[in-house]
Amino acid sequence: MPRMLDVSDDVRAEIGDEEAERLLGGENAPGSYDCTSCRTPGNTERERTSTVLFVGEETAVLAFAHAACIPSQVVPVSEEQLQGAVRSITGEQGGAPAAAAAPQAPPAADGPVQAELGVTSGLVLIKDELIPALVVEPLGPIARPGTTGPVDVFLPLLIEQGFAPVASVEEVPEPNPGWSVLVAMGKLHAILQPAVPGAKASAWWQAHQAMQVADDWRAAVNKTKRVLVLAAPVGTIGQQPREDLLREALDRAASRGQLVAATMPLAGT
Ligand SMILES: [Zn+2]
């Protein structure tokens, strides 16, 4: 039975015409699936469905999403992330997902930052709108690459890379071109930074294990398709158990000139 599948040109180029036709003919497509974007069930026989191809360095994984959620597309990811996505797709969860505030993976060794980053998800109220946000705080001082510090240059490094200083958490900052947030299978996988010319986008921060996010955060992201990424030096925000306390900590950091931010689209959109 034919499926209501969208296969974009770039997905077709990766999987080949033969496989694309098999999918469209229903041979290789699932009936029902969990949407890779909103995580709710979908059905390729009853609703328009986007094919989403996650491509790592060595392997690729085909996933499905409601066409209303995201268009058919190729999403470049690191191999490690892809393995996480595969585990997520196939439901082999290794252990309980970390709480939203758990410290997460170090970025790639050649990235601008060489320390563990803590990433917390939360909703931030700006002009009567709840904006899905990620708050990034290193677990130690960040030295400029190639030096040993001891000066913490986390914020200056981010400003050099297009983040804007935040004087008050009342404005949504400008998008930072090339940066994006990878949310797949309803979980947070990574913050991607622009590729150097000729290379794929690479992970600036990557979850050790795909990070569970709250339902209301995911719902907000599905609506806005954008994430506000806020960053502060070590010891500025800390672990806040509630969103009102998180907001107070952000306001305090902003008033002291210790907060930078950028708006990022979802990866692949
Ligand atoms: Zn969906």
Q: Is the pLDDT of residue 99 over 60?
A: no
| Residue 145, preceding peptide bond in cis (omega within 30° of 0) | no
Contact 187, 86 (CB under 8 A): no
CA of 203 to the centre of ligand 1 (A): 24
If you average pLDDT over every residue of the chain, what do you get?
80
CA of 10 to the centre of ligand 1 (A): 21
Taking only the tens place, the pLDDT of each residue in 208-228 is: 777 888 889 988 998 888 999
What 3-state DSSP class applies to 169?
Answer: coil
CA of 50 to the centre of ligand 1 (A): 10
How far apart are alpha carbons 232 and 84 in whole angstroms?
Answer: 27
What pLDDT score was predicted for residue 64?
A: 87
CA of 48 to the centre of ligand 1 (A): 10
For residue 151, which amino acid is it?
A: V
CA of 137 to the centre of ligand 1 (A): 30
What pLDDT score was predicted for residue 145?
A: 75
Residue 207's closest CA among 80, 86, 48?
Answer: 80
CA of 239 to the centre of ligand 1 (A): 31
CA of 93 to the centre of ligand 1 (A): 21
Confidence of residue 85 (pLDDT cuts 50, 70, 90): low
Confidence of residue 111 (pLDDT cuts 50, 70, 90): very low
Q: Could you state, in order of their start, the residue ranges of all structural domains in the chain?
A: 5-76, 117-265
What pLDDT score was predicted for residue 40?
A: 82
Q: Are strands 260-265 and 164-165 parallel, antiparallel or unpaired?
A: antiparallel
